[in-house]
Amino acid sequence: MGSILKEIHDLRYPHALSRSELLARGKKPTLWQAFVSAARIPKVIQRTFASNEKPVCFGRTFYLDGYFQSVESYKMFASKDLTRHLHILANELLIGPANLDVCLVHLRVGDFFSDISTAKMHVLERLKSTPTGSHIMTNDESLLNDPDIATLMEFHALKLVTTIGMPAEDVLRIMARYRRIESNGSTLTFWSSLLSGSELLVNDKILYECYNFLKKHR
């Protein structure tokens, strides 16, 4: 209690999502705190001592470095606090209850796969079992122009929901309208489903367990 929350947004990764201006902002760190975080010293300590995403104390400052998508990150908090903060987050991002009955299938490729042929194989396998008339969203829309993929989309009457050039919070808000989302592990689908109360289908066991745990507090 009484700790001052400071915030650093890391843009070094390929997706380089900008920080949403809708979310409450923490204070700026000192130059030393920013250096420690940028050097990933807390992450090195976490991996060395197998502490996953637990807070790391370094130089009288506690650091949090992670994705926080496992039950372990949340089970220490009281139920009422989880409920309150999930509602705060949904309100800040202007996300209401899901209201579309069409299934949304999210195909995260790009940084999930090492080459285009592997990504294509994944998309084809996913689309073969996609319910007819579903909506499709992906972070690589150009891949859907592949003749084999385009043919499969036409056969199943699948509709592309384009998100090119949209900020992350707009994509999140569009996803949150669907009452059922099928995902291959996207962070955006995890939070959009959780905050809107929609059903999330994902093969990632850790992510699915975290979704079910937090949904009980939504």
The pLDDT confidence band at residue 99, using thresholds 50, 70 and 90, is very high
- How far apart CA 90 and CA 96 sit, in angstroms, is 7
Whole-number pLDDT of residue 20: 79
Give the burial string for 161-199 (b: 16+ CB within 10 Å, else e).
bebeeeebbebbbbbbbbbbbbbbbbbbbbbbbbbbebe
CA–CA–CA angle 42, 45, 51 (5° rounding): 100
Whole-number pLDDT of residue 64: 85
- pLDDT at residue 199 greater than cutoff 80: yes
- The pLDDT tens digits for 171-189 are 999 999 999 999 988 889 9
- pLDDT at residue 54 greater than cutoff 90: no
The two three-digit tokens of residue 69, written as one number = 């998508």
Please give the domain boundaries of the chain with CATH numbers for all domains.
1-66 (no CATH), 100-215 (3.40.50)
The pLDDT confidence band at residue 170, using thresholds 50, 70 and 90, is very high
Over residues 77-81, mean pLDDT: 94
Give me the sign of the Cα torsion angle 97, 99, 101, 104. negative
- CB-side neighbour CA atoms (13 Å) of 212: 8
The pLDDT confidence band at residue 206, using thresholds 50, 70 and 90, is very high
Could you give phi then psi for residue 63, rounded to 5 degrees? -115, 140
DSSP H or E segment with residue 201: strand 199-202
CA–CA–CA angle 193, 198, 199 (5° rounding): 95
Q: At what angle do helices 168-175 and 187-196 cross, to 10 degrees?
A: 50
R_g of the chain computed on alpha carbons: 19
Q: Which of the given ranges, 14-28, 36-50, 188-202, has the highest pLDDT on average? A: 188-202
Give me the sign of the Cα torsion angle 169, 170, 172, 176. positive
- pLDDT at residue 144 greater than cutoff 80: yes
The pLDDT confidence band at residue 12, using thresholds 50, 70 and 90, is low
- The pLDDT tens digits for 105-133 are 999 887 677 788 888 999 999 999 899 99
- pLDDT at residue 11 greater than cutoff 90: no
- pLDDT at residue 153 greater than cutoff 90: yes
Average pLDDT, the chain: 89
Over residues 90-102, mean pLDDT: 94
Whole-number pLDDT of residue 132: 94
